[in-house]
Amino acid sequence: RTITCFARVTMACTSKKLACCTLLAALAGRAEGMHTASALRASARRALAVQMRTPLDLRQLAAGVLLFSAVQFGGGVQSANADSNDGAVNYKFPPIDSKKVGRCKFVSSAMGQANAARDSLYDLRECQMDQGNAQGFDISGALMASGSFKGADFKTAQLSKVYGPGANFDGADFTDAVVDRAFFKGASFKGTKFVNAVLTSTSFEDANLQDTDFTGSYLGMFDSKKLCKNPTLTGTHPTTGADTKESAGC
């Protein structure tokens, strides 16, 4: 909804009007709280910069609306640093709603995985979901930081742009899964299967990859070089017998 509204406002803003500045500022503020909307944030800022070539008092008012909208739509945020191809990115997420009933369960999105689109935040942070079943699910865009998903079934699942630093995926099965552009810094994947999985642009920095099986997985050349630098890429998978380092093509 934010993307559609932003596109309409940008097309309508052919002159430097106060309404355009405030609307663009508000949309930029809303996008600031969406961890899967980096492209939208950049577009909003560029469009806002063009519209704000006006007197100082107008810029101050627009900045005020930007701040208001960030608070209005975000409801309080916490920061989390993540790496990307462009360097450090500062993601901002709302606090965990530990009182939300049924929060910690796998729910497949019906909106398509390409941009991790969802109608609401999919928050699995700190959830204890060992042996969970997400086979064939689209859980793209899920926040899984510091959660426990040991032995979970992610076969043929879509996990584009998943954010899971510090999470535990020991013994999980990602066979034939799409795990592109995910962030797993410091996560644990001991004895995990990534057989025939798509892992393009996914970060395993400081992750524990001991006894993991990457047989047939797809990584870009740059991704493969980074993965091969992980010192925990050792051992053999306990059930497939695959040599971890060799299966990763290192």
- For every residue of 189-238, DSSP letters joined together read -TT-B-TT-B-TT-B-TT-B-TT-B-TT-B--HHHHHHHHT-TT--SB-T
Q: What is the reported pLDDT for 121?
A: 85
Q: What is the reported pLDDT for 112?
A: 54
CA–CA separation, 90 and 78 (whole Å): 10
218 CB neighbour count, 10 Å cutoff: 15
Pairing of strands 78-84, 87-93: antiparallel
Q: What is the reported pLDDT for 20?
A: 44
Q: What is the reported pLDDT for 89?
A: 55
Residues of the chain with pLDDT under 50: 1-88, 113
Predicted model pTM: 0.65
Considering only CA atoms, which of 43, 49, 51, 44 is closest in space to residue 28?
Answer: 44
| Token pair 């809303």: residue | 30
Q: What is the reported pLDDT for 143?
A: 96
